[in-house]
A and B are shown apart, each in its own frame.
Chain A
């Protein structure tokens, strides 16, 4: 579904990702883990053209994605949920979701029903300003907004960053729920163990390069990975 070949990306002159390749199959949950500063988020952002791409190819469903406008990517079924500031705080929850995409009224209602079904806590908050919600609920709003356009692949940048411990498992379970309705997931996650445990496959990054790739389970059981990157 998504294939990245030898990508080099960064900001301005500074290259952060040094020739990295990965792929995502339809229906999978794929996690990218690694220490701080390893380029995980940069890699994810490069797919959505939010950083400068210096070389390499990004293919999505057989089409080259380099230099495609954000609007077109969204139309093609790609969605990106940033790590922070991923909601519009002064808009209501409902307005946040509505702005997820320009779809017909009937379609919007269908999608909203599905989203409120996935995230029941949002129902009673729908008229509240999103900025007043808790961290976990904000994340649900961000997920919901990304789901409006019926995406095929969602890119999640550290969905549990800054959340209280009680919300981490809850949000990761929601990621699983989203995958269960047929959406492929590529996520960057700090909670490496939890993320790998629920992923079909995973990549371990360090210093802008790919160190390991394997199934989530295999990476968890790999002693070297555990010692170096998962805190023993």
Chain B
């Protein structure tokens, strides 16, 4: 059973990680908690639903279009909302992000309705491993491969390209980035693009594993924030690690407590981390 839970945790953890990377970078660079991140995730999943189910395009193509549209939406949010609140304190921007979250969620509900939706309703035969100790569905294998590819892609981007390094630098110290001559506007634009692509991917992977529902992303917002705080605010690598820890602990906790208390684990880890080491495992500021 532990093995199965570990696998489930790994899948949930990689989905949380993908969302948390963007959340952490936005926190580091723009200095506010982006509360609409979960609903951007939902939006990505529904965009993919539009293209793959309603318009009958192959899922991989729908995946890419949805990611790009979500990246566009993220930048639009920044252009019409957050950019204008930059001079205000971070609470104002945070509240406006909650507003944006509600708008996105209600628009989704308006267009697609509140019922559960699926990309694919066919029954999948799981692959059985270790004498039945581990059952893994083909979709789950796809999710694991795709999320690993995305995480490796993010790592290569952040560590090998000048733009990626500038993103990390700005997340470290925005004022210094400015006087070093880094084009901060460009970095902010690409941060939103990357966050949009990653959170949309997370939403699509989550919907592939389970189903679509307008509240799906909002429900993952707390675990994503917990991952960001655990890893250290502003640290993309911390967010990847934090996401995996949160996902796996949530699933493993069901060995000891009822599954309905699972989300409490993310809370507990977040609070513990804030009490013991508020700067997170790989971060340096709060």
Contacts and interface: CB of A to CB of B under 8 A. Distances in A.
B162 interface: yes
Contacts of B284: 89-90, 131
A98 B168 contact: no
B180 interface: yes
12 contacts: A50-B179, A71-B181, A82-B175, A82-B179, A85-B176, A88-B169, A88-B176, A89-B172, A90-B171, A90-B235, A91-B172, A131-B284
A80 to B, nearest CB: 5
B268 to A, nearest CB: 27
A99 B172 contact: no
B33 to A, nearest CB: 20
Nearest to A86: B176
Interface of A: 48, 50, 70-71, 74, 80, 82, 85-91, 95-96, 98-102, 131, 145, 149
Nearest to A94: B165
Given A85-B175, A89-B284, A70 B169 contact: no
B183 interface: yes
A82 B179 CA distance: 9
Contact of B165 (A70, A74, A91, A145): A91
A85 B173 contact: yes
Contacts of B180: 74, 99-101, 145
Given A90-B235, A131-B284, A98 B172 contact: no
Contact of A70 (B162, B171, B172, B181): B181
Contacts of A91: 165, 168-169, 172
A34 B211 CA distance: 67
B282 interface: yes
